[in-house]
Amino acid sequence: MTGIEIRNALVAWFSLASGAPVIWMHQNSPRPARPYIGLQVTGNDQIGFPYEGPVDGITGIRDLSFDEEFTLSLTIYGSQGSYPGDISKSLRNKLRRESTRQAFFDAGFCYVEPLMIQDIPSLLSPEFEPRAAMALLFRTNSQEPDEVGVIETAVIEVEFHNVFQGVYLSFTDQSLMIFADGAFFLLSDGSPQRTPILTATITVTGAA
């Protein structure tokens, strides 16, 4: 899911849930009528290492899947004499609904938890403007292709000194077991794929 798609989904949900205009911060346009909500993504981080998908044996491409976490800052601008913290608390309650979590999941991201609601009135001469701020934690996922490539031919030379001792090689999505008599088997071992080997030339030497 792209950043624009996530932003559009967030604006749509907060507009419907609050009944107030929702904008992204730092826009060059007149302010909406109060109360209104301003959104801003204040941080984005990756969680752990990416998941490495299987390598395509023809193209040599695999998909990397990245888990990401972002913080959404939400500021509610209230009219004189109002308490925008009430809107914040109402939104926080609605965010905990299972239907809300499902809606975000269907849109390609998930809501994790709310952080503290803060009362932050600002002085706009000659009066204070009521404001409330809240941070929300979300998680999403992104994917990038990784051109690993393929090895068309691999030459493997193995020397044996004991007929009962096999050699176990793991170099692709399958494992290769070689014995002294030259027999070998392809075994599925579920290990992470690296560069696929399409064909292998195997030379076995040594005596029992």
Position 155 scores a pLDDT of 65
pTM: 0.66
CA separation for the pair 189, 181 (Å, rounded):
23
State how far Cα 42 lies from the chain centre. Answer: 17
Domains in the chain with CATH codes: 3-147 (3.30.2000.30), 151-206 (no CATH)
The structure tokens 């904008």 sit at 23
pLDDT of 173 reads 45
The pLDDT profile of the chain, 208 residues, written as one tens digit per residue, is 778 888 899 999 999 999 999 999 887 778 888 999 999 998 888 898 889 888 887 888 989 999 999 999 999 998 877 888 889 899 999 999 999 999 998 888 999 888 778 887 787 767 888 999 999 999 998 889 998 887 666 666 655 554 444 444 544 444 454 444 444 434 444 444 444 545 555 554 444 3
* Alpha-carbon gap, residue 103 to 108, rounded angstroms: 9
CA of residue 180 relative to chain centroid, distance: 47
Write down the pLDDT at residue 140: 92
Tokens for 99, please give them.
Answer: 């239907």
Q: How far is CA 147 from CA 54, 59, 155, in A?
A: 12, 8, 23
> Distance (Å, rounded) from C-alpha 140 to C-alpha 1?
8
Report the alpha-carbon angle 185-55-152, nearest 5.
Answer: 65
